[in-house]
């Protein structure tokens, strides 16, 4: 029987639980099952990695089908642990509302805190409001401001959907998950996997320490460049968030038209 970090693989028909860093016990998730070493002996087909590949494929298909016709969208990230009486919550509502009024669908992780605030702003603007939640050991209810709600079993599929259908990211103060999503967006942009993809950090006081460390340590030691840091924009203004993203979308549209004209001119020249 295989082990990872001292934990045995799941056994068919047995209900398993897991504990977080605070000692809370919750149900085992599909991500955890996926990352366990498979037991080559005695496992039924529905307990194997082969079966999970089929589930993963099905989850991708469901997400693509549900989200393919969203239109222009912006994804908002931030902490689930922010109350609706905090200033950052109000700012996220305003950002969601302004972007919604500008014609964007608002996508979030579908939970409480900043996610709820962004979806609430979209609802106030009459814009489509989407929540892409994740199966967690400790149940987290979807917020009440969603028009489209999809729950994913696997983090990597959810992250693909959050990026694939967005023209920009707005990153509000948050914890480990928010940092994961921030650096995912930066890595995709830095490596050219996505182009002209605005990453806006909201809340200069919150992000100052991280940015100072990136400059004084990462850039100084040659692990990144100053140009890499220019991939992020920091603001405390909801209206500036809207204007930055609108400006980027217009530039993308102009660049796409220019590339199309260049292709057409090349085609005509080859036909002569």
- 14/41 Cα distance (integer angstroms): 16
C-beta of residue 133 within 8 angstroms of C-beta of residue 155: no
For residues 177 and 43, membership in a common domain is answered with: no
Q: Considering the domain boundaries, does residue 199 fall inside one?
A: yes
Q: For the segment 189-245, what is each residue's pLDDT rounded down to a tens digit? A: 999 888 778 999 999 999 999 999 999 999 999 999 999 999 999 999 999 999 999
Q: For the segment 148-176, what is each residue's pLDDT rounded down to a tens digit? A: 999 998 999 999 999 999 999 999 999 99
Q: Considering the domain boundaries, does residue 83 fall inside one?
A: yes
Q: For the segment 102-139, what is each residue's pLDDT rounded down to a tens digit? A: 999 999 999 999 999 999 999 999 999 999 999 877 65
For residues 202 and 164, membership in a common domain is answered with: yes
Number of domains in the chain: 2
For residues 188 and 241, membership in a common domain is answered with: yes
Percent helix, percent strand, percent coil in the chain, to nearest 5: 50, 15, 35
Q: Considering the domain boundaries, does residue 65 fall inside one?
A: no
Q: Considering the domain boundaries, does residue 55 fall inside one?
A: no
For residues 216 and 170, membership in a common domain is answered with: yes
Domain boundary among 11, 32, 47: 47
Find residue 46's DSSP bridge partners: none
At residue 141, φ and ψ (nearest 5 deg) are -70, 145
Q: Considering the domain boundaries, does residue 54 fall inside one?
A: no
Q: Is the pLDDT of residue 25 over 80?
A: no
For 244-255, what is the mean pLDDT? 77
For residues 166 and 214, membership in a common domain is answered with: yes
**253, exposed or middle or buried, with CB in 10 Å at 0-12, 13-18, 19+?**
exposed
Instruction: Give 143's contacts (C-beta < 8 A, 6+ positions apart).
Output: 110, 111, 112, 115, 116, 119, 120, 131
Which residue blocks in the chain are alpha helix, DSSP H? 30-35, 49-67, 87-101, 114-125, 155-164, 176-190, 204-213, 226-229, 238-271
- 94/251 Cα distance (integer angstroms): 24
Instruction: Give 148's contacts (C-beta < 8 A, 6+ positions apart).
Output: 66, 67, 128, 129, 130, 131
Residue closest to 96 by CA, chosen among 241, 235, 205: 241
For residues 240 and 121, membership in a common domain is answered with: yes
> Going by DSSP bridges, is the β-strand pair 168-171/73-77 parallel, antiparallel, or unpaired?
parallel
Q: Considering the domain boundaries, does residue 146 fall inside one?
A: yes
Write b or e for each residue in 35-48: b if 16 or more Cβ atoms lie within 10 A of its Cβ, otherwise e: ebebbeeebeeebe
C-beta of residue 94 within 8 angstroms of C-beta of residue 117: no
- 125/250 Cα distance (integer angstroms): 21
For residues 171 and 247, membership in a common domain is answered with: yes
For residues 42 and 162, membership in a common domain is answered with: no
Percent of residues, the chain, with pLDDT higher than 90: 64
- 216/269 Cα distance (integer angstroms): 51
For residues 214 and 179, membership in a common domain is answered with: yes
Q: Considering the domain boundaries, does residue 264 fall inside one?
A: no
Task: Note down the domain range covering 9.
Answer: 3-47
**Other beta carbons within 10 Å of 75:** 26
For residues 32 and 129, membership in a common domain is answered with: no
For residues 43 and 165, membership in a common domain is answered with: no
Q: Considering the domain boundaries, does residue 113 fall inside one?
A: yes
Residue closest to 178 by CA, chosen among 130, 239, 114, 224: 114
User: Do you know the residue count of the chain?
Assistant: 272
For residues 43 and 76, membership in a common domain is answered with: no
CATH number, residue 80: 3.40.50.450
Give this prediction's pTM: 0.77
Residue closest to 185 by CA, chosen among 168, 202, 172: 168
Residue 141 confidence (pLDDT): 83
């Amino acid at each position: 029987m295989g082990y990872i970090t001292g934990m045995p693989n799941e056994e068919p028909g047995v209900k398993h639980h897991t504990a977080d860093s605070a000692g809370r016990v919750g149900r085992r998730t599909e991500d955890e099952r996926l990352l366990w070493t498979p037991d080559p002996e005695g496992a039924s087909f529905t307990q194997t990695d082969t079966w999970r590949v089929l589930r993963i494929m099905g989850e991708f298909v469901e997400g693509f089908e549900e989200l393919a016709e969203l239109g222009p969208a912006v994804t908002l990230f931030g902490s689930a642990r922010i109350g609706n009486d905090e200033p950052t919550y109000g700012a996220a509502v305003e950002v969601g509302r302004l972007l919604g009024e500008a014609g964007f669908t608002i996508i979030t992780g579908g939970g409480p805190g900043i996610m709820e605030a962004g979806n609430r702003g979209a609802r106030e603007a009459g814009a489509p409001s989407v929540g892409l939640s994740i199966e967690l050991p400790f149940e987290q209810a979807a917020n009440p401001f969603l028009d489209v709600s999809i729950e994913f079993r696997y983090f990597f599929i959810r992250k693909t959907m959050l990026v694939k259908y967005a023209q920009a990211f707005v990153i509000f103060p948050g914890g480990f998950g928010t940092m994961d999503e921030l650096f995912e967006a930066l890595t995709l942009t830095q490596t050219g996997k996505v182009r002209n993809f605005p990453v806006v950090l909201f809340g200069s006081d919150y992000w100052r320490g991280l940015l100072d460390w990136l400059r004084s340590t990462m850039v100084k030691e040659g692990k990144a460049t100053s140009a890499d840091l220019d991939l992020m924009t920091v603001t405390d203004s909801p209206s500036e968030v809207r204007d930055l993203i609108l400006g980027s979308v217009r530039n993308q549209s102009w660049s796409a038209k220019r590339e199309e004209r260049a292709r057409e001119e090349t085609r005509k020249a080859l036909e002569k």
